[in-house]
Amino acid sequence: MVWVVKTNLRGIEGRPGPQGPPGPNAQLVSDDPRIPANSISASSFAKWRAARAAALAGAAPAKLLIVGDSTSQGAVTVPGSWPTALVGALTRQGLKARSGIVAAATNIPDPRWTPASWIKAGDIGPGGGLWFANGAGTAGILKATPGVSFTNVAVHYLCRAGSGSSVVRNGATTLFTMNGAPGVDGPDNTYVSKSAAVAGTAATVIDINTPAGGGLYVLGFETWDTGNPAHVAVHNWAQSGTTTEQWISLPVSLDAITYLAPALTIIMLGLNDSFASVSSATYLARMITVINRAKQTGDVMVVTNPRTDPAFQAGVDTLQAAYEVAIVDYCRANSIPLFDLYQRMGPFTPASSGPWWRDQVHQSDTTNQDIAQVIAGLLA
């Protein structure tokens, strides 16, 4: 049996896991009778472990994808996120951090992007279905400042009817031209990318300019340093407000997962399904669709959402409990690794009386660090 279990945070000296007993396995003792009391086996993440070994050997990057909502992206009141903390935890294992593909704008804007004010925040990135950046001749529709030094830059985009050409610039220098019209850079409804070698510092600005008649469905940009091949790229595609339905109803969302082909996809969805009163059966069916697509190219791990304050919205606590049972039983039956954060955090407690929640819905930075440490330990 391949399984990830939980230990309630309060069961480890009243503190989050990383501050409790040393080593990740000490934090993975089951106190749920549905869950076998054994931890991850070496075969659980065969594709991830192979990618990790290749990265450590300097052969190729290890790609890890996060699919989620605001509990993974970072909420309005939470400046950090557990995927960000995971990057730090993985680098402490000897992997060098590499910037993942970053959506051009989200409900919580990535500081590396400066989108033009007219771009609709929340509709860029695979979870939002992408946004058509056209601007009719406006320069600097999207500006990217990676925040790290790099030797190469790439822009990933979708070829789709109605698209035109756009240019990517470093200051006054044009790096390359992209054309999303079907049949030019790629077939209709397929993702492609173009890249260029460019010596960049943390403050270098990469500019996407869409001339009149142009336009592009932008997935995101990516930078890397060829001098540091032993790296891990954590692609955080979590999108605030998204439900499982959005991830399966928009072909560009699932196709983006296939295009990236990560060695491991971590899926943390369900929060907004409960707010939308989605039944547990429908939630599970949609999750299975996302899981199966991710399994086509790599390993999969499921992380359950933290519990919401029952006072936040009537009925969400009942639905979230049903989701947890459904996904735990499914993962157990299908040998899919699962980190049961729902049970690990336990019943909701106000932020004023404990460090685990930042507000009525989202976990705190303390919990984000705990999530990252546990996952990093499992992936070592």
Percentage of the residues of the chain whose pLDDT score is greater than 70:
73
Burial 76-112 (b: 16+ CB within 10 A, else e): eebeebbbbbbbebbeeeebbebbbbbbbbbbbebeb
Rounded Cα–Cα distance for residues 135 and 176 (Å): 19
What are the tens digits of pLDDT across the range 186-206? 999 899 999 999 999 988 888
Q: Which CATH number fits domain 113-224: 1.10.260, 2.60.120, 1.20.1070, 2.30.30?
A: 2.60.120
Section 81-109 average pLDDT? 72
The HSE-up count of residue 143 (CA atoms within 13 Å, CB side) is 13
The Cα-based distances of 29 to 223, 256, 265, 323, 358 in angstroms read 39, 35, 24, 22, 26
What's the pLDDT tens digit per position in 154-182?
988 888 888 888 888 888 899 999 998 99
**Strand order across the beta sheet in which 142-144 lies:** 113-115, 142-144, 206-209, 165-170, 173-179
pLDDT at 326: 96
Report the C-alpha gap between 219 and 126 in whole angstroms: 7
308: exposed, middle or buried (C-beta count within 10 Å: 0-12, 13-18, 19+)?
Answer: buried
pLDDT: which is higher, 354 or 2: 354
Provide the 8-state DSSP code for 62: E
Across 192-196, 232-236, 369-373, the highest mean pLDDT is recorded for: 192-196
- pTM, whole model, 2 decimals? 0.85
| Mean of all residue pLDDT scores within the chain | 78
Q: Quote the pLDDT of residue 325.
A: 94
Name the residue with higher pLDDT: 137 or 54.
Answer: 54
Percent of the chain predicted with pLDDT > 90: 29
Residue 68 clears pLDDT 70, i.e. is over it: yes
Domains in the chain: boundaries: 9-95+230-379, 113-224
* pLDDT at residue 7, as a whole number: 55
pLDDT at 246 over 60: yes
233 pLDDT tier (thresholds 50, 70, 90): confident
pLDDT at 18 over 60: no
Distances (CA, A) of 246 to 119, 125, 241, 319, 362: 20, 12, 10, 19, 20
Contact by Cβ (8 Å): 99, 155: no
What's the pLDDT score for residue 220? 80
Q: How much is the pLDDT for 244?
A: 94
Which amino acid, residue 202?
A
Task: Tell me, letter by letter, the H, E, C secondary structure of 141-173.
Answer: CEEECCCCCEEEEEEEEEECCCCCEEEEEECCE
- Domain 9-95+230-379 carries which CATH code? 3.40.50.1110
Residue range 80-92: mean pLDDT, rounded? 84
pLDDT at 248: 87
**Per residue in 311-329, pLDDT tens?**
999 999 999 999 999 999 9
Q: Is the pLDDT of residue 369 over 80?
A: yes
Query: Is the pLDDT confidence value at 61 over 80?
Result: yes
Distance CA 296, CA 263 (A): 10
Could you tell me whether strands 206-209 and 113-115 are parallel, antiparallel, or unpaired per DSSP bridges?
A: unpaired
Distance CA 289, CA 313 (A): 27
Non-local CB neighbours of 280 within 8 Å, separated by 6+ positions? 319, 322, 323, 325, 326
Q: What is the pLDDT of residue 184?
A: 96
Higher-confidence residue of 27 and 47: namely 47
Distance CA 109, CA 231 (A): 25
Task: Look at residue 28 and tell me whether its pLDDT is greater than 50.
Answer: no
pLDDT of residue 113: 58
